[in-house]
Structure 1
Amino acid sequence: MFCSAIRNILKNSQNAAKYGAISPQLRNLRGQGVAQSEVQVFKSPDIIAQQNDKETEPATQDSFKEVALDFGNREAHVPSFNLAAYVNKSSTLQQFISLGVDLHSIERRKGLGQFVLQLDFEKNVKPFITFLVDQGISPDDFGRMFTKNPLLFKEDLDDLQTRVDYLKSKRFSDEARQRILTHNPYWLMFSTRRVDRRLGYFQKEFRLSGHDLRLLATREPNVVTYNMEHLRKSVFTLREEMGFSPKELSALVVRKPRLMMIPPDDLVERFSYIHQDMGLSHAQIVQCPELLASREFRLRERHEFLKLLGRAQYDPQKDMYISPKTIVEGNNFYFVRNVAKSDFETFDLFLRTR
């Protein structure tokens, strides 16, 4: 059902030592590695703390059975945080590299390098790959998922199945579930009770229908597991400081839920420029929430260039109308040619002299 490459990984993990040639990723690891130093006793980092989640529900503290790897006497007595030093002798690390896992990214986070080093591919990794395959996850996504959240291997598979079944019970489609899991692997670390409370918050706060709630969660899976204090501050800013009505706010967060993850001060700065300098109404901003998601200096550059050309006209009832959405689309070359109807030399001279 899935590509033969994954079958080979699952079936031939014991023969992983054949990877004699070190990949570009390994060369990068060694290039950025530091001198070997004594390793501190590994303590599993709290995945919830990494996301700055301040809810009071304690994270599950399941014990993890360590798997001894034979690295020889020298490696055993002089451990190192640099995973590149162990790749040739660890079939698990070799399998991770073949899956596209960025080991350098993992070893930069405290404790994770030691945790990954203790994993046995057959016992600790293969069952999770099988589980993800059963959920319809593409093998191409494994590397990114395991790089972002290697602590997934600490979870109980029955708990993971329960969390997937919860999404099914809430009528998330197969495609929606796959997007949620691949874009936010941390979702699987949250109990069904926590996820249910989060979804309930969004539904109640914005008076969303079941369809709109699923749309919000699928478009930006990270917002459901984001820091709740930050989310509440952003919602307060959108409602009270910017003056969006309840109906406008609901439409805004469904169309662009990532807005709630942007620092409130940045939102205020962008809104002030869009509303006052560009002259766009609340209704126009709701129709084009990408404006609030764009950095203020980028908006300023493009709006002022259009103003210089006499083309900064955002009223659809008047001639030479330019859709506000097109201002934040594409790179500068696309903007100059297709929106401003000018040439890049003129735009470059404008940027140099402004």
Structure 2
Amino acid sequence: MNMASTCGRLYLRYGGALSSNAATYHSYIQVPHCITTIRNSTKISNGLILAGTHLSAQTRLRWRPQTWCYYSLTAKYLTTEAKEKTYQELSRTDVVPSKISLIPETDVLQMNTNPLLLDLDDAEKVYALEEISDEEAVSISIPSIPPGSSSLRDYVDKSETLTKLIQLGVDLWKLEQRTNVGTMLLRLDFTADVAPRLLFLKEIGVEESRFGYIISHNPFILTANLENLQARVNFLKSSKFSSETVASMVSRAPYLLNFSVKRLDNRLAFYQQHLKLSASNTRNIVARLPKLLCGSLEPVKENLKVCEIELGFKENEIQHIAIAVPKVLIANKKKLTKIFDFLHNTMKVPHNLITKFPQVLNTKYLRLRERHLFLEYLGKAQYDPALPNYIALDRLVSLPHEIFCTEVCLATVDDFNLFQKTL
């Protein structure tokens, strides 16, 4: 308070001698923890509080070193609490202003944040819309990669890796939906990281046309250790899978080479033991459906129990079904039981016939139902091989629509379409 009072007395004493052409002005001095107003302040100009007639630019600049001192800490007190404090302090003085003007917080923040004296000359030199020369515009540095984005497409033009992956047929829109995969791809160097893995896939026999599919489903192969990948390929070959079979398995099951040799060995042993298969038959079902080595074993265990307990198949029948249609092992349980129920209870097909034509368990339920009902409508739904006009189950579900109508039903496609409208 001593500093503020002294400044006030100096102003009252010498204020009239500052300019002969200017009217009387009123000062506004702010220091940390103290705000004092000598007389009414009515206007804010360039961050300064003025009253009365405007000073010329020269007069204002001469005043600056003596009077216009603003600390960065002032902004902290220009809230509602600061206003209340100002009224309380003014109430303890003899001067009661009719109007109190405070520096808006936005104005203070836009000024120089030097903790010492703020320089108005510097503030006047900064313009957001100021024109600059072509040389200055060229010298402005721009980030080579956008600072943040929700899509990898914004980085394609700046990343050689993403550009080359797109050329290989990789679906970036699929990968960007997976957690941390986009960041991983941006950090990869195509020459050092991606190219060696692609060369490895080509060396083991994978066709280049399958690279996009493999990376789209398993981008982590781009960061896998090459020695580990080679060890897994060597294990499969040592298990008497041919080189062509290994390449085909990797092409259709992209995650195959992500699993350790120990896990691959345990999976092969599981199918051989639970289905009581020979090594040759085990390789056969795995080669035809390599996903058996990648997915969880729980659905497989559950389907084996369903076939034995709920559906009533014998052990040798389950074995035959698994060898003929390996997909039954990982089929949806609800779909599997629904198809079997329609075959066995509605169509009256016994277990031995279903075992003989196990592909019927892998068909679509709607397709099976519509064709059987149409044959039943025509009086031709006869599936017993010991009786005349026998219709084999494989022809029932595997023939194309037109051939089924003309050769099996001896009807036209239009007849079948009309019948479908009655269902």
Q: Which bin holds the TM-score, normalised by the shorter protein? A: 0.7 to 0.9
Matched position secondary structure for 1:144: helix
Identity %: 33
Match of 1:9 in 2: none
TM-score by length of 1: 0.76
**1:88–1:269 Cα change, 3 Å:** same
Match of 2:226 in 1: 157
Of Structure 1 and Structure 2, which has the larger fraction of its residues in helix? Answer: 1
Match of 2:297 in 1: 228
Q: Deviations over 1:237-288 (max 9, x none)?
A: 0111111111111111111111121122221111111111122222221222
- Shift of the alpha carbon at 1:72? 5.1
TM-score by length of 2: 0.64
Q: Structure 2 counterpart of 1:139, which letter?
A: E
Match of 1:344 in 2: 413
Contact 1:81 1:114 in 2 (8 A): no
Q: 2:404 aligns with which of 311, 326, 335?
A: 335
Contact 2:145 2:158 in 1 (8 A): no
Matched position secondary structure for 1:341: coil
Q: Structure 1 counterpart of 2:297, which letter?
A: M
Alignment of 1:123-162 (within 5 A): 123-162=192-231
Match of 1:240 in 2: 309
Alignment of 1:237-316 (within 5 A): 237-316=306-385
Contact 2:272 2:282 in 1 (8 A): yes
Contact 2:268 2:293 in 1 (8 A): yes
Q: 2:283 aligns with which of 196, 209, 214?
A: 214
**1:209–1:336 Cα change, 3 Å:** same
1:84 has 2:153 as partner: yes
Q: Structure 2 counterpart of 1:170, which letter?
A: S
**1:338–1:147 Cα change, 3 Å:** farther
- Shift of the alpha carbon at 1:175? 2.2
- Shift of the alpha carbon at 1:74? 7.2
Contact 2:317 2:355 in 1 (8 A): yes
Alignment of 1:43-192 (within 5 A): 73=143, 75-77=145-147, 79-192=148-261
**1:306–1:72 Cα change, 3 Å:** farther
Q: Deviations over 1:1-44 (max 9, x none)?
A: xxxxxxxxxxxxxxxxxxxxxxxxxxxxxxxxxxxxxxxxxxxx
Match of 2:422 in 1: 353
Matches of 1:189 and 1:235 in 2, distance apart?
26
**1:210–1:266 Cα change, 3 Å:** same
Of structures 1 and 2, the one scoring higher in RCO (CA 8 A, sep 6+) is 1
- Shift of the alpha carbon at 1:340? 2.4
Q: Structure 2 counterpart of 1:144, which letter?
A: Y
Structure 1's unaligned 5+ residue stretches are: 1-70
Q: Structure 2 counterpart of 1:73, which letter?
A: P
- Shift of the alpha carbon at 1:92? 1.3
Q: Structure 2 counterpart of 1:95, which letter?
A: K
Aligned residues: 283
Deviates more, 1:183-192 or 1:91-100: 91-100
Match of 2:123 in 1: none
Match of 2:24 in 1: none
CA RMSD, Structure 1 to Structure 2 (Å): 1.7
Matches of 2:184 and 2:388 in 1, distance apart?
63
User: Which structure has the larger Rg over C-alpha atoms?
Assistant: 2
Contact 1:81 1:113 in 2 (8 A): no
Contact 1:216 1:254 in 2 (8 A): yes
- Shift of the alpha carbon at 1:331? 4.4
- Shift of the alpha carbon at 1:99? 1.0
Matched position secondary structure for 1:73: coil
Matched position secondary structure for 2:402: helix
Matches of 2:158 and 2:330 in 1, distance apart?
42
Matches of 2:256 and 2:409 in 1, distance apart?
42
Matched position secondary structure for 1:214: helix
Matched position secondary structure for 2:170: coil
Matches of 1:140 and 1:339 in 2, distance apart?
40
- Shift of the alpha carbon at 1:338? 3.7
